[in-house]
Amino acid sequence: MDFITFFQQLINGISLGSMYALIAIGYTMVYGVLRLINFAHADIMMVGAFAAFFAMDSIGFSLAFAVLFAIIISVLTGIATDRIAYKPLRQAPRISLLITAIGVSFFLENIVNVTFGGTPKSFQAPDFFEQIIKIGGTTLTPTVIIVPLITMLLLAVLLYILFKTKYGIAIRALAFDIKTVSLMGVDSNKIIMIVFIIGSALAAVSGIFWAISYPILTPYMGVMIGLKAFAAAVLGGIGSVSGAVLGGFILGFTEVVFVAILPEYGGYKDAIAFIFLILVLLFKPTGIMGINFEKSRF
């Protein structure tokens, strides 16, 4: 692989990794606070993508308004899943919560399937995204440049919220010890809601990125993306936001490079995330930047 090809793959990998990272953050934050693998999280991403599609295709919004619309719909869905499905089970065994999350995931997929019909939808991004930019010998699309930039911006905002604001302190405290912190007068349900708002908003942004990069939308698009993003979160160390981002980038980059180096095995690229995940868990059960949770059990 010459340098120019490598550079091109690097940029593609970073772009793909950003999309994984944005979803992985939602997984890692919910896991940090509730110790729940929120199986429905990737479907919230899918809801975001469909909301954007609906806003542009049926209402006729411009992309900017469609983004806003998608974020609002996703955040409302996120809050609703927490309130209806997860909140009543706060004291329940963790397995109940996990099964409910799987139920919510299927519910969202199928309700979108029923609402929009079974045929895949093609997302019409503005022409701006269709152009090709040539820098040196590399050919890039605007998407692969814009996606990482916006991701970095959102990440900076998120880190500011987490480490500089009152709510950020509360979120980190809840992740540390939810029982004690609740006893000390923190409204844990409100903070958990904020976690779901942040996660869902980031997922919506990621959903629009996916829609622009791979413009075929299906109600089940979240399944595989979500599994990989969760694998990325565990890879980086679940509970750690920077770990999720790192895991996302590693995964995105590995996938792109794998297909570039071994195109004849391209069909196996979807399995890489899990092979990676299993290897990491074998040697470092808490992931690369993992926080040492007490041994997980239901």
Partner 1 sequence: MERLSKAQILIFLVSVGFIFLSPYIFEDYGMRILNNICIFIILAASYNLINGVTGQFSLEPNGFVAIGAYITALALLDEDMKFELFQLEDPAPWVLALHLDLIPALLLSGFVATIVAVFLAAPVFRVRGDYLAIVTLGFGFIIKVIAINSPEITNGSIGLNEIPSVINIYWTGGIAILTVIFMLNIIYSKYGRAMKAVRDDEDAASAIGINTFKIKTYAFGTSAFFEGVGGGLLAILLTTISPDLFTFFLTFQLLIIIVLGGLGSMTGTIIGTVIVIGGSEWLRFLDAPLNIFGYETDAHPGLRMVVFSAILILVMLFAREGIMGKKELTDIFKRKAK
Interface residue list for partner 1 (CB under 8 A): 31, 35-37, 84-85, 88-89, 92-96, 98-100, 102-107, 109-111, 113-114, 118, 223, 227, 230-231, 234, 265, 267-268, 270-271, 273-275, 277-278, 281-282, 285, 295-298
Instruction: Identify which of residues 134 and 297 has a Cβ nearer to partner 1 in the complex.
Output: 297
Instruction: Write the burial class of residue 145 (CB in 10 Å: 0-12 exposed, 13-18 middle, 19+ buried).
Output: middle
Instruction: Identify which of residues 128 and 265 has a Cβ nearer to partner 1 in the complex.
Output: 265
Concatenated DSSP letters of 153-214: HHHHHHHHHHHHSHHHHHHHHHHH-HHHHHHTT--HHHHHHHHHHHHHHHHHHHHHHHHHHS
Smallest gap from Cβ 128 to partner 1, in A, equals 35
Smallest gap from Cβ 141 to partner 1, in A, equals 28
Instruction: Identify which of residues 81 and 141 has a Cβ nearer to partner 1 in the complex.
Output: 81
Give 45's Cβ-side CA count (13 Å radius). Answer: 36
Query: In sequence order, what are the residues at sequence separation of 6 or more whose Cβ sits closer than 8 angstroms to the Cβ of residue 120?
Result: 216, 217, 218
Instruction: Identify which of residues 131 and 292 has a Cβ nearer to partner 1 in the complex.
Output: 292
Greatest alpha-carbon span in the chain: 60
Nearest-angstrom CA–CA distance, 111 and 278: 33
Instruction: Identify which of residues 109 and 151 has a Cβ nearer to partner 1 in the complex.
Output: 109
Instruction: Give CA torsion, residues 194, 199, 202, 203, to 10 deg.
Output: -140
Smallest gap from Cβ 116 to partner 1, in A, equals 10
Smallest gap from Cβ 295 to partner 1, in A, equals 6
Instruction: Identify which of residues 6 and 298 has a Cβ nearer to partner 1 in the complex.
Output: 298
Phi, psi at 139, each rounded to 5°:
-110, 125
Query: In sequence order, what are the residues at sequence separation of 6 or more whose Cβ sits closer than 8 angstroms to the Cβ of residue 246?
Result: 236, 288, 289
Smallest gap from Cβ 182 to partner 1, in A, equals 21
Phi, psi at 38, each rounded to 5°:
-80, 85
What do you get for the CA distance between the two ends of the chain, in Å? 48
Identify any residues that bridge with 122 across adjacent strands, giving them in sequence order: 216
Structure tokens at 170: 């509360």
Smallest gap from Cβ 34 to partner 1, in A, equals 11
Instruction: Identify which of residues 160 and 298 has a Cβ nearer to partner 1 in the complex.
Output: 298
Instruction: Identify which of residues 31 and 69 has a Cβ nearer to partner 1 in the complex.
Output: 31
Smallest gap from Cβ 107 to partner 1, in A, equals 4
Smallest gap from Cβ 94 to partner 1, in A, equals 7
